């Protein structure tokens, strides 16, 4: 079974043509627009460096949607040590990079629909074949995001997430 492509929104009363199955954070929580062009700071769609001291990679937290054959994804940023970031960068375009052991990191995206904050949750970052974003595995804690990654979510939860993210000021 797959998710219907559209949905009736309980926030705005309108019909949205698609039920988004992924949301991406555009930058690590620690990035600010003023850093653009600053020495030692760069933001691309895949990697970020802040002041030549803090290193981040864009990866996916994938959550199975248990009443469908689909997967919901959070595009998030994970901080890595200088050495791990350097190794991952060296292998970025190397076939077979997916055989690398996972890299330890800290979740560096604050997903607004979770309490407590998602910042600084422990992660393992798994590289995948060239062209695919790394997979982010959260430490198996009781944090709601970690629980959802382990147990999955329903399509109703996906719709709830979409409504919260498409209408951030609305109270459910």
Asked whether the predicted pLDDT for residue 172 surpasses 50, the reply is no
Tokens of 32: 């600010």
What does residue 105 show for φ and ψ, rounded to 5 degrees? -160, 180
pLDDT in tens, 106-149: 999 999 999 999 999 999 999 999 999 999 999 999 999 999 99
Categorize the per-residue pLDDT at 1 as very low, low, confident or very high, splitting at 50, 70 and 90.
Answer: very low
Q: Give the dihedral sign, CA 149/151/157/158.
A: positive
Kindly state the percentage of the chain with pLDDT values over 70. 93
**Residue 164: helix, strand or coil by DSSP?**
helix
pLDDT surpasses 90 at 4: no
pLDDT of residue 40: 97
Can you give the pLDDT at residue 5? 66
What predicted TM-score, i.e. pTM, was given to this entire model?
Answer: 0.92
Interval 14-39: pLDDT, tens: 787 888 899 999 999 999 999 999 99
Q: Is the pLDDT of residue 13 over 80?
A: no
* CA pair distance 92, 116, nearest whole angstrom: 33
The strand pairing partners of 54, in sequence order, are 50
**pLDDT > 80? residue 12:** no
Q: What is the pLDDT of residue 48?
A: 98
Pair of tokens at residue 50: 């802040």
Burial class (CB in 10 A: 0-12, 13-18, 19+), 83: exposed
Mean pLDDT of the residues in the chain: 93
For residue 158, pLDDT beyond 60? yes
In the prediction, which pLDDT does 17 show? 81
């Amino acid at each position: 079974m797959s998710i219907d492509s559209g949905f009736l929104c309980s926030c705005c009363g309108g019909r949205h043509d698609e039920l988004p199955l992924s949301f991406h954070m555009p930058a690590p929580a620690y990035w600010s627009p003023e850093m653009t062009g600053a020495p030692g700071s760069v933001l691309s769609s895949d990697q970020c460096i802040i002041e030549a001291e803090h290193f981040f990679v864009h990866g996916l937290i994938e959550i199975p949607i248990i009443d469908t054959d689909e997967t919901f994804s959070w595009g998030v940023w994970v901080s890595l040590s200088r050495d791990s970031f350097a190794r991952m960068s060296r292998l970025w375009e190397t076939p077979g990079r997916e055989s690398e052991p996972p890299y330890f990191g800290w979740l560096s995206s604050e997903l607004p629909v979770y309490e407590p904050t998602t910042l600084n949750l422990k992660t393992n970052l798994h590289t995948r074949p060239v062209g695919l974003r790394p997979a982010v595995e959260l430490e198996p804690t009781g944090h709601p995001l970690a629980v959802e990654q382990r147990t999955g979510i329903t399509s109703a939860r996906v719709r709830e997430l979409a409504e919260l993210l498409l209408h951030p000021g609305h109270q459910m």
